């Protein structure tokens, strides 16, 4: 038990030393937020009702005008805040979640709710809005981000909470 204490202490000491080195807290292990800021935000869009509408699916490079819907607008606004341009990728949730898991995307939208099975592939933002389906069940909507990219996630959460407050 004493060994556990000293090891935990050591870990804590290392943490304090490292945290003195500046940089953001929380930080991204893969540096997503830093890369996206002033660069490119790679957004996976999955068609779903009013959340995401894609007017020219499967016809090469998508432009921002091709992707519409409430969540597409949120992604555009978020990219603007970060001074980033969006690189759109259209696909099913399955394909996009897999791409997210392997670092090919920074954000996936498509009316995903917090009961999504993709928690093994992606991190979830906080629910920012609710919808009610035909059976009367309430869905809390989230967006998908790469696992463990916590600075990027926190930035997006902050933005979505502002959106939520304005609703």
Partner 1 sequence: MTDVRSGGAVRFGHTELPAEQREALRKAAKLEWATMGFLAVTTTLVFLVLGNSQAMKAAWIEDLLSFLPPISFLLASRVIRKPPSVDHPYGYHRSTGVAHLVAAVTLTVMGGYLLVESGLGLLKAEHPTIGGIELFGSTIWLGWLMMGVMLLTAAPPVFLGRAKMKLAATLHDKVLYADADMNKADWMTAVAAVAGVGGIGLGLWWADYAAALLISASILHDGFKNTRAAVSALMDKRAMTYDDGEPHPLGRQVDTYLRSLDWAADAKSRIRDEGHVFHIESFVVPAGGAMPTLEKLESARKACVAMDWKVQDMVIIPVAELPSEFLPGPTSGGEH
Closest CA to 68 of 92, 94, 82, 88: 88
- Binding segment for partner 1 (CB under 8 A), chosen from 35-43, 61-69, 91-99, 150-158, is 150-158
**Quick check: 83 binds partner 1 (CB under 8 A)?**
no
Residue 1 makes contact with partner 1 by CB under 8 A? yes
Determine, following the binding rule CB under 8 A, whether residue 103 of this chain makes contact with partner 1.
no
Place of tokens 């341009």: 85
Binding mask 105-134 for partner 1 (x = CB under 8 A): ------------------xxxx--------
Quick check: 110 and 69 in contact, CB under 8 A? no
- Among 27, 47, 82, 163, indicate the residue that binds partner 1 (CB under 8 A): 27
Residue with tokens 């954000």: 107
Report the nearest approach of partner 1 to the CB of residue 38 (Å). 20
| Only segment of 17-25, 53-61, 80-88, 132-140 that touches partner 1 (CB under 8 A) | 17-25
Go through the chain and tell me how many residues it has: 167
- Nearest distance, CB of residue 68 and partner 1, angstroms: 27
- Cβ partners under 8 Å of residue 3, min gap 6: none
Query: Where are the extended beta strands (E) located within 95-147?
Result: 107-109, 122-124, 129-132, 138-141, 144-146
Q: Is 145 in the site for partner 1 (CB under 8 A)?
A: yes
| CA–CA distance, 128 with 122 (Å, rounded to integer) | 17
Q: How far apart are CA 98 and CA 78, in angstroms?
A: 23
Residues at the interface with partner 1 (CB under 8 A): 1, 4-5, 7-9, 11-12, 15, 18-19, 23, 25-29, 123-126, 145-151, 153-154, 156-158, 161, 165
């Amino acid at each position: 038990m004493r060994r556990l204490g000293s090891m935990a202490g050591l870990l804590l000491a290392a943490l304090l030393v490292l945290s003195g080195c500046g940089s953001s807290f929380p930080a991204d292990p893969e540096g997503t937020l830093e890369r996206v800021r002033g660069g490119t935000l790679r957004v996976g869009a999955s068609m779903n009702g009013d959340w995401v509408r894609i007017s020219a699916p499967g016809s090469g490079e998508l432009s921002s005008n091709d992707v519409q819907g409430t969540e597409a607008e949120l992604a555009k606004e978020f990219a603007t805040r970060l001074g980033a341009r969006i690189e759109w990728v259209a696909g099913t949730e399955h394909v996009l979640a897999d791409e997210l898991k392997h670092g090919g995307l920074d954000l996936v939208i498509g009316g995903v709710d917090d009961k999504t099975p993709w928690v093994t592939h992606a991190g979830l933002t906080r629910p920012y809005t609710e919808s009610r389906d035909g059976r009367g069940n309430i869905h809390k909507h989230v967006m998908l981000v790469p696992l463990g990219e916590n600075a990027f996630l926190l930035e997006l959460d902050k933005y979505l909470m502002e959106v939520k407050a304005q609703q």
